[in-house]
Amino acid sequence: MKVEQVLELVKAVSDSELTEFKYEEDGVKLSLKKTSDKIVQVPAPAAPMAAPVIAPAVMPAGAEAQAAEAAAPAEGENDKSAGNVVKSPLVGTFYAAPAEDAEPYVKVGDSVKEGQVLAIVEAMKLMNEIESDFTGTVKEILVENGQGVEFGQPLFVIS
């Protein structure tokens, strides 16, 4: 399985309602898990597949409305995050500094330029630098060092 295929699977699982996904091919085992407040049932495939397929989630009646309500920002939350938001491009662990004993890449109030490294997200033992998409001042850091992050999760507010 190629790295591109693995990253595609990580993104697909992150975007879906699945909480766990396991795949095995030619001795390579892949297991993806994420936490969720909902129980999702996924039908098991009847026969081996040539390519990975993510089955649609089966949700109880009314669960979609609850999921949409939970995903909607709370009143006043948009005001808190006014500015340009840098989001996580992948699922992994957020690190604010290049090493445990090192200073963080940026702090609230620091000026940053587009392309400047803001943090690292570790995914599958690979350290991925998160660069700013904007020039401005770090208004807010929305995650803690060592915290797990999801695909598309807001990390920084730059104004």
The rounded distance, in Å, linking the Cα atoms of 35 and 23 is: 18
Q: Which of 1, 3, 16 is nearest to 150 (CA)?
A: 16
Q: What is the pLDDT of residues 33-60, one digit of tens each?
A: 766 444 445 555 554 555 555 555 555 5
Q: How far, in Å, CA of 92 to CA of 127, rounded?
A: 9
* Phi and psi torsions of 51, nearest 5°: -130, 150
Q: What is the pLDDT of residue 157?
A: 95
Phi/psi for 3 (5° steps) reads: -60, -40
Using alpha carbons, list the distances in angstroms from residue 145 to 7, 35, 68, 96: 23, 19, 28, 6
Does the pLDDT at position 143 exceed 70?
A: yes
Q: Report helix, strand and coil shares of the chain as percent, to nearest 5.
A: 15, 30, 50
Secondary structure (3-state) at 5: helix
Place of tokens 């999760």: 153
Angstrom distance (rounded) from CA 29 to CA 6: 11
Q: pLDDT grade, residue 62 (50/70/90)?
A: low
Strand partners, 24: 29
- The predicted-structure confidence for 11-33, as pLDDT tens digits, reads as follows 777 777 767 777 777 777 777 77
Whole-number pLDDT of residue 23 = 73
pLDDT at residue 79 is higher than 70: no
Regarding predicted confidence, which is higher, 46 or 142? 142
Q: Residue 121's pLDDT is what?
A: 94
- State pLDDT tens for residues 91-134: 999 999 998 889 999 999 999 999 999 999 999 888 999 999 99
What is the H or E stretch that residue 29 is in? strand 28-33
